[in-house]
Structure 1
Amino acid sequence: MSRVPSGLDAGDEEIGGVGGMRRMVIGVDVGGTKTRLRLAGLAGGEVAVDRTVPSAGWQTRSLPGAAAWLAERVAALPRPGDEVARVVAGAHGCETPEQCAGLERELRALLGLPVTVVNDAELLVPAAGLPAGIGLVAGTGSVAVGRHRETGRHMSAGGWGWVLGDDGSGSALVREAARAVLARADDGAPFEPLGLALLRSYGVPGLPELAAAMSWDGGVETWAEHTPAVFAAAEEGSPLALDVIRRGGAALAGLVVSLALRGAEVSAVVAAGGVIVAQPALLAAFEEELAARLPGVPTTLLRTPPVAGAVELARRPTAEPDPE
């Protein structure tokens, strides 16, 4: 596939490369809603093609199916004269080294190229230009990933889903906010700003309707959409909202501490995800707790696309899978 011509879609950007074979790499960030792919020079320089496509159809229950889905999109990137040296993909849903290794094997067979697959959260640290550290995602869900400081093996904490865990994520913040409001009502206390903010956000007149809406009208998949209501209530001075945010930040810090206690390299933390990027109050709560429990560990808020981390990994001298 490395020398097969392919056209560019509208909106793709192509830079340079006329005459002669060009040594290139491909980086991919497969997210839950969208997938971003980049074709870039092996030795550095500008990105040749940058493409974003919907992640509709992506799943990791069937690794052959996932590989076929991804290979089709990767194969469409190279231009005439491109020779792809390596592909690195950060894959949403690849939660274990075994899953990543299995998807690697399938992709190598389809593409005929060196391929490395990691969890998509592992792209954060290289995207920030750092050699090592912990990647922390706090968006719809939450998870922390890293590598063992001696063996280099993949490690993770959190990411157990919106009902069982994902504390500090948008879904969990709304869940905990609703629990706090309902508990206050059970105590016979009057409404305060957090309760009113949730009612407004869901467009319901009272708490029975709020509980019904959260349980049945879209369910947990829609909870994260209402995260701004929690932070709006905090800005109004709601003690309940402030406590929910404080506990969410502490839970995120706890994920990093868990990895540190298990031997992960924690020279730095790179945070990303729609909630922690958009809400400074959550970032501040996380950093305060992290400083108390792991003094001196800096936090970087990722401003560049994680796909840049996939390109960086692909450009490194080796991009091998986890040791078995």
Structure 2
Amino acid sequence: MSLYLCVDCGGSKTSAVVCDADGKILGRALGGPSNFAYLTLDEFIATVKGAISNALKTCTPPPSNIYVPLPSQGTSPFTAAWFGVSGVDSPAAITTLTPPLSTLLGIPAGPRLAITNDTHLLAAPLRMHPDITHAVAVIAGTGSIAVTFRESAGALEELGRIGGWGWILGDEGGGFSVGREAIRQILLEHDKATVTGKEAPQSTLTTQIIEHFGIKDIMEILPIIHLPDPAPHQNHPPNSPAYFLIPKEKRVSSLSPLVFKAALQDGDELALRILRTCAALLGEEIAMLLAQESGPRAVRAQNSVISFGGSLAGIEAYRKLILDDLAQLGHVFRYVDFVADPAAVGAVALAAAAKIPGVIRCN
């Protein structure tokens, strides 16, 4: 049986999907975070290996009793594989990952083994709209990135990109950005009150964040946010607060769900303002990839599809905020898509590409 594998490696989780030559999904599994920029090579391979092994085990019927690693046990069950990896932003990163992934799967380096940034998985909708030739892929999840593509000789050619720099340098409009903006806005309201002598406006979001960290005053949040990351195997006293156990990035990004709940369910004005701010920041970055004038690498929204992916972009109200900001900047897209399952889309695209005689194109 010919099997096709796609692995979507993100900052929150790893998703591995296996399909057959007809594009039927046979198995899938999830693993832990696998942003390559945040992990050692060994950690990355271990996470990916676990997800692929579990995906093979869920196949119905199972392809065999062969699970990764494969080469010493026989030929690879995979005809082709595609890894869309967050944190893979340079040819050097692809060069680093190719040998261990080739060894893991028993697939030689070459056209049968594709390693790209995870945004490439979101460009698939371009092939679903024959009247356009360009796509803008936008990920808004734990982090954020936007990349433009065009169809060229049957393959997707990357044109330009912005973002994907990680939480220290950017990721505007992603989960960390939302959590950081929430803290900034709440602290700003507090500081304004020290000048005006008036109490800061009431906010359900502020109350929820105070409860989340188990504090009594919002200024107590500063030492929590700046607390160093926990050392490996570090012991803490029993009943220590949960924030002692997670890195500072997660302490901030974990606030994102509270912001969305307060904004979209409670109608909290502060939370709504935070989402508008973050959506506008991401919209401004996307707009840098777009052009009002024609040019060799110009992408015009009216002739393109914008394809969203990621947990935050999966929230329709948040996508609308981003699109509204882009429209105010003069960019209205011909088509708007949300790819809920990039790994499945990638696996099916691999199987479809393999039917082109002598060609396997996955990027």
For the aligned pair, the TM-score class normalised by the smaller chain equals: 0.7 to 0.9
For 1:198 and 1:237, the matched residues in 2 are separated by 16
Letter in 2 for 1:30: C
Distance verdict in 2 for CA 1:59–1:25, change over 3 Å:
same
Q: Which moved more, 1:142-151 or 1:269-278?
A: 142-151
| 1:62-101 correspondence runs (5 A) | 70=48, 74=52, 77=56, 79-80=63-64, 84-101=78-95
| Structure 1 residue aligned with 2:209 | 198
Q: Which moved more, 1:125-134 or 1:181-190?
A: 125-134
Letter in 2 for 1:26: L
Q: Does the Cα contact within 8 Å between 1:94 and 1:119 map onto a contact in 2?
A: yes
The reply to whether residue 112 of structure 1 matches residue 107 of structure 2 is yes
For 1:308 and 1:198, the matched residues in 2 are separated by 36
Letter in 1 for 2:254: E
Q: Deviations over 1:102-154 (max 9, x none)?
A: 43355346623420111122212327974652221212211112325679236
| Structure 1 residue aligned with 2:138 | 136
Q: Deviations over 1:195-249 (max 9, x none)?
A: 3343233332112212222222442222122123323443555443322211211
Deviation of 1:288 (Å): 0.6
Letter in 2 for 1:143: I
Structure 2: unaligned runs, 5 residues or longer: 57-61, 65-74, 228-242, 292-296
Deviation of 1:285 (Å): 1.0
- Count matched residues: 298
| Structure 1 residue aligned with 2:232 | none
| 1:162-241 correspondence runs (5 A) | 162-188=167-193, 189-192=198-201, 193=203, 194-216=205-227, 217=243, 218=246, 219-234=248-263, 236-241=266-271
For 2:306 and 2:287, the matched residues in 1 are separated by 11
For 1:175 and 1:269, the matched residues in 2 are separated by 26
Q: Does the Cα contact within 8 Å between 1:122 and 1:146 map onto a contact in 2?
A: no
Distance verdict in 2 for CA 1:134–1:91, change over 3 Å:
same
Correspondent of 2:148 among 133, 146, 149: 146
The reply to whether residue 244 of structure 1 matches residue 280 of structure 2 is no
Correspondent of 1:260 among 271, 278, 290: 290
Correspondent of 1:287 among 306, 311, 323: 323
Q: Does the Cα contact within 8 Å between 1:101 and 1:321 map onto a contact in 2?
A: no
Letter in 1 for 2:312: V
Correspondent of 1:28 among 7, 12, 19: 7
Q: Does the Cα contact within 8 Å between 1:198 and 1:230 map onto a contact in 2?
A: no
For 2:34 and 2:256, the matched residues in 1 are separated by 24
Q: Does the Cα contact within 8 Å between 1:88 and 1:115 map onto a contact in 2?
A: yes
For 1:228 and 1:158, the matched residues in 2 are separated by 22
Q: Does the Cα contact within 8 Å between 2:14 and 2:48 map onto a contact in 1?
A: no
Secondary structure of the equivalent of 1:176?
helix
Secondary structure of the equivalent of 1:134?
strand
Deviation of 1:62 (Å): 6.1
Structure 1: unaligned runs, 5 residues or longer: 1-21
| Structure 2 residue aligned with 1:275 | 312
| Structure 1 residue aligned with 2:29 | 51
CA RMSD of superposed structures (Å): 3.5
Q: Which moved more, 1:185-194 or 1:244-253?
A: 185-194
Distance verdict in 2 for CA 1:287–1:31, change over 3 Å:
same
Secondary structure of the equivalent of 1:136?
strand
Q: Does the Cα contact within 8 Å between 2:15 and 2:51 map onto a contact in 1?
A: no
For 2:253 and 2:51, the matched residues in 1 are separated by 29
Letter in 2 for 1:161: G
For 2:39 and 2:103, the matched residues in 1 are separated by 19
Q: Does the Cα contact within 8 Å between 2:121 and 2:342 map onto a contact in 1?
A: yes
Distance verdict in 2 for CA 1:98–1:209, change over 3 Å:
same
Letter in 2 for 1:53: G
